[in-house]
Amino acid sequence: MLEFPRWKVIWLWALTIVCALAAVPSLTSMTNIQLPASLPQPKVNLGLDLAGGSHILLEADPSQVRQQRIEGMDESVRGKLKAENIRISDISNNNGSLSFLVEDPSKVDAVREAILPLTNGAGLTGKRDWTITVADGNRFVLTPTQEGIDQAVSQAMDTAVEVVRKRIDALGTKEPTIIRQGAQRIVVQVPGLQDPQQLKNLLGQTAKLEFKLVDTTALPSDVARGVAPPGSEIVPYATASEGGGVASIAVKRLGGIRGDELTNAQMTNNQQTNEPVVNITFNTEGGKKFANLTTQNVGKPFAIILDGKVLSAPNINEPILGGSAVISGRFTAESANALAISLRSGALPVDLKVVEERTVGPDLGADSIRKGMIAMGVGTLALAVFILATYGRFGVYACLALVLNVLMILGIMGIIGTTLTLPGIAGFVLTIGAAVDANVLINERIREERHRGRRVVAAVEMGYKEASRAIFDANITNVIAAVLMFAFGSGPVKGFAVVLMIGIATSVFTAVTLTRLWVAQWLRRARPAELNL
Amino acid sequence: MKLLKLVPDNTNIHFLKWRLPFYIVSIVLMAASWGLVLTKGLNLGVDFVGGQMIRVTFERSAEAPVATLRDEVAKLGYGEPIIQRYGKPNEISIRMKLPEGADHDASLSDKMARTITADVKKNHADARIDGVDSVSGKVSRELGWDAFKALGFAALAVAAYIWLRFEWQFGIGALFALIHDVTLTLGMFALTQLEFDLNIVAALLTLIGYSLNDTIVVYDRIRENLKKFRKMPMPELLDLSVNETLARTIVTSLSMLITLVALLLLGPEVIFGFTAAITLGIFVGTYSSIYMAAPILIWLKVNPKSFVPTETALEKQERLAREGV
């Protein structure tokens, strides 16, 4: 137990020193001392509850993905069958599936063959993303499968994370954290952000831009009642004033184009009215489509629709061939800028909703760090006095182990880049109290063994051996609690769990292994006949 | 140098003599805690019931104007606020239910937060907004369920571990002590109406870990003594074990308390409830390892044979052969 070969001594000290040195950047970052930039500087990150900032949890609505997939399939099927010259009718995409009639029953097999390539395998189960059934001889029903929807949601979420990242980067905030959480959620954390309003405006906007032709045949009375002519749909105006007293307008479902093929979007001011507008530039493909649409429909009105609401419905006075357009819609400078950023970063494939939001002011965090530090300092000092008074020389070893333990925790946290949160500070202080327990167990056991009449070396050896068992069991149960805390806890609690886990590992190392080394070296050097313990 | 000795050598206190009265006291306390939790309820934070919490510090006031503030916020038409001090008298939290329909339209809760913070700042020049938390009903239900799962799994997992390392009776004893500790802590939260949020769940999990520390140290000694003194009656053996570990129990509990008291008095106010929960847990945990976890072993009929490996069929054959049957 008390034998330490030279290589082991060197190894133990090297490990301790490296971990303790890694704590230096974290400690100096709280002061004004500058470390040379050439040195590696692992630093403990401060959590939002300490640094101040915003935490936003966004949630997507999967039912929307289902509807989008059905509508997408609707378009694909129409296009495909049109190309094959097969006539279909009574198309409906409303009840969670797409259904249509094949007018010529003899073409049913041809239709099946045509639409089968439109479906794909989903997941690893071998299932497809759509089920195709034929009812009453010639009615096709296409239903998206759960696997297909899950896959689509998953893809949509990946895209959404990218879009969110682009939008936040455009705001110029520093070091945002954007992580997908679970199947339908995204966590956004922006340190130092005090007013998350702008951010939320930006993320709340799906930015799906569409240009659709206005159905001029629709009767105003029908539109007002929400009834659209066949092939058209009713879309509300974004602002009542834009419609000139009319709340909504009928637009043709097909034949429009989407505004996602853009190379740029910028906020500018309209030269005549000085109103903020958004200037969009199409890419080649999008520009061609836009040119076609405007060329074929000169003199007719078309609606500019953003996220399902009509911004404006101007007349096409002449073909727009330059590949750029101006969107006006009673914007403020801020909302025009937000729209420009959103259009540049692409539309979100799903709507995102804020389901949890936490903002922490900077003063509270700074206050907490200062108070945590004071509490830690005073607590450690008082504890050291107590332990020194109780265990003398062995207390010195315990205190030294304690200080190294604190440095090692900080160092390891810095190296693996974990985040220190408010409960984490408490975890720190707690670990200090608990780490001493190992030394108490050992020292009390040595005392006991001396009372039973064992000689010094034997008593120390027994003390370490017998106490180790209880120390081990107690630490394992702490690890179990910490792991579960990490698994089920949210942000700050996770941070606490991490500090606990690191603290458990380092405290066993410093309080058991290192003190044993020191005691062993002292016994060999001084060969005491009696222990003052 | 004369060293500090809080516990004299070779104490022989008959702890277990009082086991029945103490058990009754503990059970009464546990029942009272549950009664409090059920009647008064826990002061659940927005983490678990959803809603909005705004933290405000009145920087130049000794005390926050809670009553005025309550009237002012109530006038804004979002319903009655729950206004509470945490930590220092000039630090308060305003809690509100989320407005109708906020589950679908997050801008409604935004608007409420902006209206309230603007109003507070307008009426009180020294008000500093320290944080705004909005948690939707759905998320809060999930957080609550996760917390419940974490506590349940943790209790079962550590009990299982102790069963594995010791014997099943020890596992039950530890689980019982654990439930006792957590129950009393919950009772304290119901009694004091300190806010019960996610951090407190972390505190309860920590408490589970650390109150077991004590239990394990005592159990470890009981196991050792069971092997050493085969003939000693259980109550006497338990007393011996508790007495032998008494010095350690006192010194460790004091060490923990020293750091925790420093944290309670000097540490950040925001985690006051968290620290209070763990501090109480240290007291209750120390008591429960002596008076809950140990005596239960008598009732569950632990005896030295529990640690003698049972004979396998082969060994029995060999023994019988040796004995010449």
Structure-model confidence comparison of residues A217 and A174, the more confident one: A217
- Which of A368, A374, A474 lies closest to B212 in CB terms? A474
A63-149 to CATH, choices 1.10.472, 1.10.730, 3.40.50, 3.30.1360: 3.30.1360
Distance between CA atoms of residues A16 and A79, nearest Å: 69
Are residues B275 and B155 located together in one domain of the fold?
A: yes
Contact B181, B211 (CB under 8 A): yes
Average pLDDT, chain A: 84
pLDDT at B241: 92
Are residues B128 and B182 located together in one domain of the fold?
A: no
Distance between CA atoms of residues B75 and B63, nearest Å: 22
- Which of B260, B266, B274 lies closest to A433 in CB terms? B260
Q: Which residues contact A177 (CB under 8 A, 6 or more apart)?
A: A187, A188, A189, A190
B220 touches chain A (CB under 8 A): yes
User: Pairing mode, if any, of strands B82-85 and A88-92?
Assistant: unpaired
Please indicate, yes or no, whether the overall pTM of this predicted structure exceeds 0.80.
Answer: no
Domain coverage including residue B230: 15-41+140-307
Closest to A384 in 3D by CA, of A374, A396, A375, A373: A396
Chain A residues closer than 8 Å to B154 by CB: 480-481, 484-485
pLDDT band at B11 (very low <50, low <70, confident <90, very high): confident
B325 touches chain A (CB under 8 A): no
Lowest mean pLDDT among A125-129, A336-340, B67-71, B87-91: A125-129
Chain A residues closer than 8 Å to B149 by CB: 488
Angle between helices B137-165 and A456-488 (to 10 degrees): 150
Q: For residue B9, is it within any domain? A: no
A487 touches chain B (CB under 8 A): yes
Residues of chain A above pLDDT 70, percent: 97
Are residues B129 and B178 located together in one domain of the fold?
A: no
Contact B61, B90 (CB under 8 A): yes
CATH value at residue B282: 1.20.1640.10
pLDDT at A150: 84
Q: Which residues contact A62 (CB under 8 A, 6 or more apart)?
A: A149, A153, A184, A350
The string of pLDDT tens digits covering residues A9-33 is 899 899 898 888 888 888 777 666 7
Distance between CA atoms of residues A224 and A437, nearest Å: 77
The string of pLDDT tens digits covering residues A488-518 is 877 677 888 888 899 999 999 999 999 999 9
Are residues B254 and B276 located together in one domain of the fold?
A: yes
A216 touches chain B (CB under 8 A): no
Q: For residue B323, is it within any domain? A: no
B164 touches chain A (CB under 8 A): no
Are residues B128 and B153 located together in one domain of the fold?
A: no
A160-358 to CATH, choices 3.60.110.10, 3.30.1360.200, 1.10.580.10, 3.40.50.620: 3.30.1360.200
pLDDT at B25: 92
Residues of chain A above pLDDT 90, percent: 16
User: Mean of the pLDDT values across residues B129-157?
Assistant: 88
The residue type of A114 is A
Distance between CA atoms of residues B183 and B164, nearest Å: 25
The string of pLDDT tens digits covering residues B147-197 is 888 888 988 998 899 999 888 999 999 999 999 999 999 999 999 988 898
Average pLDDT, chain B: 87
SS3 A482: helix
Lowest mean pLDDT among A32-46, A347-361, B235-249: A32-46
User: Mean of the pLDDT values across residues A267-279?
Assistant: 83
Is 90 exceeded by the pLDDT of residue A64? no
User: Mean of the pLDDT values across residues B18-34?
Assistant: 92
pLDDT at B242: 92
Q: Which residue of A has its CA nearest to B223?
A: A470
Are residues B179 and B299 located together in one domain of the fold?
A: yes
Is 60 exceeded by the pLDDT of residue B77? yes
How many domains is chain B built from? 2
A62 touches chain B (CB under 8 A): no
- Which of A49, A360, A480 lies closest to B158 in CB terms? A480
Are residues B152 and B120 located together in one domain of the fold?
A: no
Verify whether the Cβ–Cβ distance A487 to B165 is below 8 Å: no
Is 70 exceeded by the pLDDT of residue A243? no
pLDDT band at B309 (very low <50, low <70, confident <90, very high): low
Which of B213, B242, B243 should we substitute to test contact with A (largest number of A Cβ atoms within 10 Å)? B213
Closest to A294 in 3D by CA, of A325, A334, A328: A325
Chain A residues closer than 8 Å to B220 by CB: 469-470, 473
Are residues B154 and B103 located together in one domain of the fold?
A: no
Residues of chain B above pLDDT 90, percent: 26
Q: Which residue of B has its CA nearest to A197?
A: B110
Q: For residue B159, is it within any domain? A: yes
Are residues B301 and B233 located together in one domain of the fold?
A: yes
Q: For residue B3, is it within any domain? A: no
SS3 A44: coil
Chain B residues closer than 8 Å to A429 by CB: 259-260, 262-263, 267
Are residues B151 and B287 located together in one domain of the fold?
A: yes
Verify whether the Cβ–Cβ distance B165 to A473 is below 8 Å: yes
Q: Which of residues 438-467 of A touch B (CB under 8 A)?
A: 440-441, 444-445, 447-448, 451, 466
Contact B173, B251 (CB under 8 A): no
Domain boundary (B135, B157, B180) is at B135
pLDDT at B1: 67
Q: For residue B5, is it within any domain? A: no
Contact A239, A331 (CB under 8 A): no
pLDDT at A518: 93
Tell me how close the Cα of B146 comes to any Cα of chain A, in angstroms. 6
B308 touches chain A (CB under 8 A): no
pLDDT at A521: 92
Are residues B148 and B245 located together in one domain of the fold?
A: yes
Verify whether the Cβ–Cβ distance B132 to A357 is below 8 Å: yes
E strand intervals along A172-282: 177-181, 185-191, 209-213, 232-236, 248-252, 257-258, 262-269, 276-282
Is 60 exceeded by the pLDDT of residue A77? yes
Q: For residue B4, is it within any domain? A: no
Is 60 exceeded by the pLDDT of residue B325? no
**Looking at chain A, which residues constitute the CATH 1.20.1640.10 domain(s)?**
6-52+362-526
The string of pLDDT tens digits covering residues A337-374 is 888 888 888 888 888 888 888 888 878 778 888 888 89
Tell me how close the Cα of A102 comes to any Cα of chain B, in angstroms. 40
User: Mean of the pLDDT values across residues A102-111?
Assistant: 85
Q: Which residues contact A220 (CB under 8 A, 6 or more apart)?
A: A246
A433 touches chain B (CB under 8 A): yes
Is 90 exceeded by the pLDDT of residue B303? no
CATH value at residue B64: 3.30.70.3400
Verify whether the Cβ–Cβ distance B267 to A532 is below 8 Å: no
Chain B residues closer than 8 Å to A480 by CB: 154, 157-158, 161, 209
Fold of A6-52+362-526: Multidrug efflux transporter AcrB transmembrane fold (1.20.1640)
Are residues B262 and B276 located together in one domain of the fold?
A: yes
Q: For residue B7, is it within any domain? A: no
Verify whether the Cβ–Cβ distance A364 to B198 is below 8 Å: no
- Which of B162, B248, B259 lies closest to A444 in CB terms? B248
pLDDT band at B313 (very low <50, low <70, confident <90, very high): low
Distance between CA atoms of residues A299 and B83, nearest Å: 62
Which value does ipTM take for this structure?
A: 0.84
